[in-house]
Amino acid sequence: MKAMVIVNPSSGKEKANDYAEKIEETLRNNYEDIEIRRTEKEGDAAAFATEACVALYDAVIAMGGDGTINEAINGLAEQAHRPALGIIPLGTVNDFARALNIPLEPYEAISILEEQYLRPVDVGKVNESYFANVLAVGAIAEASYNVSAEQKTKLGPLAYFMEGTKSFLNGEAIKISVEHEGGKWEGETFLLLTALTNSVGGFEALAPEADVNDGKFHTFIIKKLSIPKIATLIPSLLRGELEESKEVEYIRTSYLNVSSNKPHVVNIDGEEGEPLPFSAKVLPGHLNIFVPVIKKT
């Protein structure tokens, strides 16, 4: 049995190397060969994960923020052999870990690797890239690029919420066309949000019906709103009742084709992605992820 541990040394307030030692110690009970790979630049985590597939590793453990986890998933997705994936969250938001009930405290997250309990999880494919959590288009999505590292450290997920609220008040609606398995939607929107999981931007009730392996995207299109209507929408968002709002179009679908008459960029798992148009589909149960054991009551 072989395992690769992918470490982003700059994550977790520079404590990543300490955590790596603990992971190696934990994995010794189940794996004879353990390789530690440390990233130095963008793209390294994806390349390491693909190497693990080619070399027929049994497990890949990715330790870092959402960007590192996203890269690891991109390295594993659609490979002929896909090792089981472990996630040690060291980021600001850690949406994918939240959705899988993986502890956000690193040593607690490491401890679940002892149990070797796996759960099949959906992965999204957008054009030729892959994602685990969310796609977003619109003023709010673009506002997330303005969140500084200092704001993330001080405020965590709240930093994204604050920037998003400002963009609601100041941003312009964009015109988009959305094809999905139930038909087509066209109109103006402040935000199109497509979630694979229930946790988006640190808010775990945003898409309460979403499960990590239901084979569907849960898409919310927030229509062009006046400022008073924006004020009434925010409580619905926080209560997880967004889909019930008259100002929101809710679509449950296994694929999406989204286009616009202007060159807006899609946000992929919190990172700036490609210009529209894009095509996205769900790869059902595509990766096996180490998660806490579900205790029967």
Summarised one tens digit per residue, pLDDT across range 99-147 is 899 999 999 999 999 999 999 999 999 999 999 888 888 766 655 555 5
Instruction: For 129, list phi and psi in degrees, rounded to 5.
Output: -115, 170
Crossing angle of helices 157-170/227-239, nearest 10°? 160
Q: What pLDDT does 297 receive?
A: 47
Average pLDDT over residues 90-96: 81
DSSP tag of 81: S
Q: Which two tokens stand for residue 14?
A: 């520079």
Catalytic site residue from 35, 179, 247, 271: 271
134-285 maps to CATH 2.60.200.40: yes
Task: Give catalytic status of residue 271 as yes or no.
Answer: yes
Q: How large a percentage of the chain has pLDDT more than 70? A: 75
Q: Is the pLDDT of residue 200 over 60?
A: yes
Query: Which has more confidence, 193 or 151?
Result: 193
The architecture in CATH of the region 2-116 reads: 3-Layer(aba) Sandwich (3.40)
By DSSP bridging, strand 33-38 and strand 2-7 are parallel
pTM: 0.82
pLDDT of 240-278, one tens digit each? 455 555 678 889 999 999 999 888 888 888 778 888 999
Q: Rounded to whole angstroms, how far apart are CA atoms 141 and 160?
A: 9
Q: What is the secondary structure of 114-169 as a DSSP string? A: GTT-EEEEEEEEETTEEESSEEEEEHHHHHGGG--HHHHHHHTHHHHHHHHHHHHH
| Domain limits, the chain | 2-116, 134-285
